[in-house]
């Protein structure tokens, strides 16, 4: 029995361009469904495997679009380079880089942090007190 396969365009975060950057690349994948296509694309070379959000978009496409994406990837200098020096020789390479929010530093306001913690402590004490009252009530019977 031959299984019917579909063609998918998967946009993934590709790396080796610095920790805080990525390049979105469209890959053509043949799979049963979109979930399988995302799984296949996640483990292609250059894709940031360790990111939960490595797959940006999955779209079902036709065969002509599938061939077009393969042709574009075959002509893409970024996918052919083997070193940082090769990357630096690519024209307009810096324009393709996208800042990755995955490594965005979180700054905390100390005053609001203290207010949140005191609120949680009050809430916890209230819940603890009501739990003891409920337990005493159960033992009364």
pLDDT at 60: 95
What confidence category does residue 85 fall into, taking pLDDT thresholds of 50, 70 and 90? Answer: confident
- State pLDDT tens for residues 1-59: 446 689 999 999 998 887 888 999 999 999 999 999 999 999 999 998 888 889 999 99
Q: Which of 35, 37, 44 is nearest to 14 (CA)?
A: 44
Query: Where residue 134 falls among pLDDT bands split at 50, 70, 90?
Result: low
What pLDDT, on a 0 to 100 scale, did the predictor assign at position 92?
87
Cα–Cα distance, 100 to 20 (Å, whole number): 5
- Rounded Cα distance, 94 and 75, in Å: 18
Residue 81: the pLDDT is 87
Say how far apart CA 42 and CA 55 lie, in whole Å.
7
> How confident is the model over 59-76, as pLDDT tens digits?
999 999 999 999 999 999
Using alpha carbons, select from 43, 41, 37, 39 the residue that is nearest to residue 60. Answer: 37
- The pLDDT value recorded for residue 67 is 95
Residues 6+ apart with CB under 8 A from 74: none
Mean pLDDT over 72-82 rounds to 91
Q: Which residue has the tokens 């894709």?
A: 47
129 pLDDT more than 80:
no
The full set of domain ranges for the chain reads: 6-103, 107-141
Q: What is the pLDDT of residues 89-120, one digit of tens each?
A: 888 888 888 888 776 666 778 888 888 899 99
Q: Count of CB atoms within 10 A of residue 133's CB? A: 10
pLDDT of residue 41: 94
């Amino acid at each position: 029995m031959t299984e019917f396969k579909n063609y998918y365009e998967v946009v993934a975060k590709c790396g080796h361009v610095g920790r805080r950057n990525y390049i979105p690349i469209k890959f053509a994948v043949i799979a049963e469904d979109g979930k399988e296509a995302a799984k296949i694309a996640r483990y292609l070379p250059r894709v940031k495997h360790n990111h939960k959000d490595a797959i940006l978009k999955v779209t079902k496409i036709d065969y002509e679009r599938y061939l077009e994406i393969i042709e574009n990837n075959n002509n893409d200098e970024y996918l052919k380079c083997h070193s940082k020096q090769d990357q630096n020789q690519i024209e307009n390479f810096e324009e393709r880089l996208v800042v990755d929010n995955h490594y965005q530093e979180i700054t905390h306001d100390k005053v609001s942090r203290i207010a949140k913690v005191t609120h949680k402590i009050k809430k916890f004490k209230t819940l603890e007190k009501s739990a003891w009252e409920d337990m005493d009530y159960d033992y009364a019977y």
